[in-house]
Structure 1
Amino acid sequence: MAEREVLLKILDLARWAPSGDNTQPWRFEIVSGDHIAIHGFDTRDWCLYDFDGHPSHMAHGALLETLRIAATGFGLDARWTIRAGCPDTAPIYDVKLQAEPGLAPDPLFPHIETRVVQRRPMRTTPLTDVQRERLTAAPGPGFQVQFFESFAERLEVAKLLWGNAHVRLTCPEAYAVHKEIIEWGARFSKDRIPEEAVGVDPLTARLMRWVMQSRGRVEFFNSYLFGTIAPRIQLDFLPAMACAAHLLLRPDSPPAKLVDHLAAGRAMQRLWLTVADLGLYLQPQMTPVIFRWYARAGQPLSGLPSLNSAVASLAHRFESIVGAGEQAQFAFFCRVGAGSAPRSRSLRLDLPDLLRT
């Protein structure tokens, strides 16, 4: 039986797991000295980017892996199961902890809190063979990592992101999400993305803040003043070129159940923590993956037919870049590279706010 203080320390580390737009779709319950229940949820009911809840499920997997890594720092082995009878929209994960004499801390333990998102341009210094080997092995069995490193490959990805960004910034259904997830005028944020971490210059940030106060302003600005150009250049095209490589995490088998998306989240987190261990930075680029999920599932992204046609075209372009067919599975897409540490970042809700009594 672990002391409650130890369990709180483990959860205080686990809460630093990544989640889409810092939504933190989980709450913790300490059931006993060796049992923690994690009450998960997803944001599919309001977030366009949480396709069928799968990005939230991947975040749950990242959390469970982070908790396991954190537990090793206290000589504890953490193993989880999915509680029977729970819907995928609100899964409960029962985590049992057991003392393991001689258990060494996971090598990724020191990077749980230092792992960050770097949305600004990085250096184009190529990855070394050692770095590439570490990143290839990081996700573990069941997943492959595909690299896009040359100038030509980065340019193709940049053009793909340029097209995805146009859909993202003009989609009416995305407006409410974008308005909700940014904390304007902030360097740090406990439950959103702070303005200074968005990745645009101060002038563009001020303009974005004014425009996003109403959907009418967004439509007018996009239609008559080329409103998507500056953010697409700063948030998508330039960062896509200014990095060492783009990485695509691909599962060996198509995900069929909740547990498969949890496994993808675990692989994603181990990849991300390995990036930090190598002294590099990472930025997720999930919009192409999520839009492709919509296209291949035959589900409309928007009520505007033109945007759905654009999503289908972008899905084909993504597959062409990757050299994959329509049945291939993509789990996580990101860019990595060296550079200066971000000055701004998303924090997390305080642990008491994440605890259920």
Structure 2
Amino acid sequence: MGQALLNDPVLENILDQARWAPSGDNTQPWRFEVVDARHVVVHGFDTRSHCVYDLDGHPSQLSLGALLESMALAASCHGLRMEARRRLSMPDTLPTFDVRLVDSPGMLPDPLAAFLPQRSVQRRRLSTRSLRASEKAALAASLPPGYSVQWFEGGRARLACARLMFDNAKLRLTMPEAHKVHRDVIEWGARYSSDRIPEQALGVDAMTARLMRWVMHSWRRVDFFNTWLGGTIAPRLQMDLLPGLYCAAHFALLADAPPRHVDDYVAAGRAMQRFWLTATQLGLQLQPELTPLIFARYVRERRTFSRTDGMQEMAQELVVQCQGVLGAAAVERAVFLGRIGAGPAAGARSLRRPLQELLVAPTAGP
């Protein structure tokens, strides 16, 4: 299966670097089929069937875009240009790309390629030092045509964003559909994880982590703690409110036109990855904050995401709050939200599956 890969150190290096692309809950929604030394089929998938956050697979499509951009960056270090074409015959639930690596004489290595393995999520507090004009200019310049960045800076704006995340977290932590996701994606007691989020990367103290682990064992415990003991307060304070206050800024990446199709989200993922890698290059840390956008679209499209009474109404209130922070027009054009700031890299982080685990046997097809 992997013989062609093992016989080509260039391709092996490109895929080994690209697998560090970010993905929601470290799902790594891709597998690689090596056709030959310069042709790889990327078999994508999504988690919409069981993950309330993966609405229409769009977050997974962002991740696939980040993967393709990572492949392009890694390829540039070998004088190769990456060309990716999505197979239109495949369903949206299985985005599949033919990736070809083409010799490109004179191509210089993209400086961002050096930061592929280093880039990670930092969920803990960051410096409140304002971003320098040079940092903001470099981040804005990293975006391809069709995208821009909107900044939310200063104490008042950071507080508004922190409150937005704190209030959205109540929805996340009181909804049984989300509990199933949280229970499955955390690797308790771990500093690193190859296929989940390690406990020590969550951004909570040890006592809160122990309590969360015990409570999240069953929805009955979660519901009791939330109802009678204010069970969401400590994790929301530590994972949402305080990090939202302690950062340089929050930001939104905006597409010129609202994204509609798979290719729009894949393209947005490529832009996101360049922005994030540029932040890493500048020594800045970053944390995604996608929840408000996801539930805003559930509400905007009048789609049900929970059978629990009060959840839809809570989400409707949060949409109004989100529009107040971002602006109504920006909510529909936003493809990514996050917070950013100076600070040390995370001491605990998600790793990736070994490359051999990401390889699949060749299949019949174009």
Q: Normalization by structure 2: what TM-score? A: 0.95
Task: After superposing the two structures, state which structure 1 stretch, 332-341 or 317-326, moved more.
Answer: 317-326
Answer yes or no: is the 8 Å Cα contact 2:139–2:275 preserved in 1. yes
Partner in structure 2 of residue 199 of structure 1: 203
* Aligned counterparts, 1:238-317, within 5 A: 238-317=242-321
Whether 1:163 aligns to 2:196 is no
What is the rounded CA distance, in whole Å, between the counterparts of 1:313 and 1:331 in structure 2? Answer: 21
CA change 1:9–1:276 in 2 (3 A) is: same
More deviation, 278-287/292-301: 292-301
Q: What amino acid sits opposite 2:49 in the alignment?
A: D
Separation of aligned partners in 2, 1:17 and 1:325: 29
Residue 175 of structure 1, aligned match among 159, 179, 187:
179
Q: Of the candidates 208, 213, 233, which is equivalent to residue 209 of structure 1?
A: 213
Q: Does 2:152 align with 1:148?
A: yes
User: Per the alignment, do residues 327 and 245 of structure 1 end up closer, same or farther by CA in structure 2, a change over 3 Å counting?
Assistant: closer
The whole-number CA distance in structure 2 between the counterparts of 1:256 and 1:321 is 23
| Structure-2 change in CA distance of 1:326 and 1:136 (3 Å) | closer
The one of 224, 244, 267 equivalent to 1:220 is: 224
Contact 1:80 1:96 in 2 (8 A): yes
Q: Is the 1:77–1:100 Cα contact (8 Å) retained in structure 2?
A: yes
Q: 1:329 aligns with which of 327, 330, 333?
A: 333
Mapped to 2, the partners of 1:49 and 1:256 lie a distance apart of: 17
Structure 1 contact 154–246 (Cα < 8 Å) conserved: yes
Q: What CA distance in whole angstroms lies between the structure 2 residues aligned with 1:261 and 1:334?
A: 17
Deviations 1:240-298 (A, max 9, x none): 00000001011111222211010110111111001001110000011111111111111
| Distance (Å, rounded) in 2 between the aligned partners of 1:354 and 1:104 | 28
Hey, what does 2:85 align to over in structure 1?
A: 81
Secondary structure of 2:237's aligned partner: helix
Distance (Å, rounded) in 2 between the aligned partners of 1:341 and 1:132: 19
**Percent of aligned positions with the same letter in both sequences?**
50
Unaligned segments of structure 1, at least 5 residues? none
RMSD over aligned Cα, in angstroms? 1.3
Match for 1:315: what amino acid? V
CA 1:258–1:72 in 2, change beyond 3 Å: closer, same or farther? same
- Residues 106 and 235 (structure 1), Cα distance of their counterparts in 2 relative to 1, 3 Å cut: same
1:327/1:58 Cα in 2 relative to 1: closer, same or farther (>3 Å)?
closer
Name the SS for the 1:145 alignment partner. strand
SS of the equivalent of 1:331 reads strand
1:14 pairs, out of 5, 10, 18, with 18
Paired position in structure 2 for 1:43: 47
For residues 342 and 88 of structure 1, the distance between their equivalents in structure 2, rounded to whole angstroms, comes to 34
TM-superposed deviation, 1:313: 1.2
Q: Aligned partners of 1:118, 1:171: CA distance in 2, in Å?
A: 25
Larger CA deviation: 3-12 vs 125-134? 3-12
Deviation of 1:84 after TM superposition, in Å, equals: 2.8
SS at match of 1:108: helix
Which structure 2 residue ranges, 5 or more long, are not aligned? 362-366
Distance 2:319 2:157 in 1: 17
Residues 190, 325 of structure 1: CA spacing in aligned structure 2 closer, same or farther, 3 A cutoff? same
**1:327 Cα deviation from its structure 2 partner:** 7.3
Cα-to-partner distance string for 1:14-40 (whole Å, 9 max, x where unaligned): 100000010000000110121010000
